[in-house]
Amino acid sequence: MTVRLVLYVAGDTPRSRSARATVAWLADGGVGERVEATVVDVAEDPERAETDRVLLTPTLLRQGPGSARRIVGDLGDRARVAEALGLSAPGPTSTEPSQ
> Taking a C-beta distance cutoff of 8 angstroms, is the pair 78, 30 a contact?
yes
Range of the domain at 23: 2-84
Is residue 41 included in any domain, yes or no? yes
Is residue 90 included in any domain, yes or no? no
Domain total of the chain: 1
Name the band, by pLDDT with cuts 50, 70 and 90, for residue 90.
Answer: low
Is residue 99 included in any domain, yes or no? no
Residue type, 70: R
With the C-alpha atoms ordered 7, 52, 4, 87, is the resulting torsion angle positive or negative? positive
Gyration radius from the chain CA atoms: 13
Average pLDDT over residues 9-21: 95
- Over residues 18-55, the pLDDT tens digits come to 999 999 999 998 888 899 999 999 999 999 999 999 99
Distance CA 40, CA 52 (A): 11
